[in-house]
Amino acid sequence: MMSGCSWLDATTREQIVAVVDLKAGIAVHAVAGNRQAYQPIAIGGKTAGDPFALVAHYRSLGIRSLYIADLDSILLGQPQIALLERLISPHSDLDEILVDIGLPERDTVASLLKSVRRRSNVFVIVASECATNATSLRRFEGALDYSQLVLGMDYRQGVFVGGDDSDDDWDSGGDWDSERDWLEFADQLGIDRVVALDTATVGTSRGPSIAEICSRIRRHFPSVKLYSGGGIRDASDVKLLQQAGCDRCLVATALLKR
């Protein structure tokens, strides 16, 4: 195990979902949501940006869950289907693999959805930042069971980003009205996994800032499996998010330190 990951004890390891951000075929280091400035990740003597080397590194640390974000799909609507399938297919033994593809047109990801459907440990995230409103959660209806979909609740500096719904202040409840619309609709559809992530803290090693939001989600929707992260430095930050109601924590930067 790399010395910089000495904080990763057996108990903490079980709570970690290791992050792979893909841009133009390479694995990049996400920092503060400035996606145009993301740089390739180098692991040991491997080629910088090799996503397979990154996954192998995470597995060498004993991590059993992955979060794979396809930035080409999220930002451009151009999913990296072949790469995603190559990353997913060898890891049927992992506990779970969450794949964030934003909200591309359904026909552009038909083969990926078909592949996911055959793998009970793989789940597709529908990202609120890419949608017009909560009904966008129906985009893949019929192609994938709702039990394999995950609601991605996106935030920027604490402000919910959810298409038109994020501007909804109909009863002066602000962001919570928008959040609740998405969460209630997901619940109605049978989606029982939620990833809440604030891009402003990702990769900053400043500690998580989303604990209050996680607590709010957990309080109102106690049965969801809740994931979050951003800025996590060590086991104490993981514990902080667990105390806020998170079941699993998304981590990248803290797992790359030597």
39-96 pLDDT, tens digit each:
889 887 677 899 999 999 999 999 999 999 999 999 899 999 999 999 999 999 999 9
Give the number of other CB atoms < 10 A from CB of residue 69: 27
Mean pLDDT of 219-242: 94
pLDDT at 48 (0 to 100): 86
Mean pLDDT of 4-33: 89
Q: If you average pLDDT over residues 171-200, what whole number do you get? A: 83
pTM of the model as a whole = 0.91
C-alpha of 196 from chain center: 8
User: 3-class SS at 193?
Assistant: strand
Q: What is the largest CA-CA distance in the chain?
A: 56
pLDDT at 178: 82
Q: What's residue 168's pLDDT? A: 43
Q: What is the pLDDT of residue 211?
A: 94
Overall average pLDDT of the 202-223 stretch: 90
Return the number of other C-beta atoms located less than 10 Å from residue 165's C-beta: 23
Q: What is the pLDDT of residue 69?
A: 95
Asked if the model's pLDDT at residue 206 lies above 90, the reply is no
Cα–Cα distance measured from residue 53 to residue 190, given in angstroms and rounded to the nearest whole number: 35
pLDDT band at 164 (very low <50, low <70, confident <90, very high): low
Query: What pLDDT does residue 176 have?
Result: 64
d(CA 252, CA 223): 26
Instruction: Give which of 70, 64, 95 is closest to 82, Cα–Cα.
Output: 70
Q: Both tokens of residue 109?
A: 């990801």
Q: What is the pLDDT of residue 203?
A: 75
- Average pLDDT, integer, range 90-110: 95
Domains and CATH numbers, the chain: 3-255 (3.20.20.70)
- With a cut of 70, say whether residue 147 has pLDDT above it: yes
Cα–Cα nearest to 67, from 53, 92, 86, 87: 87
Mean pLDDT to the nearest integer, 32-41: 74
Q: What is the overall mean pLDDT for the chain?
A: 89
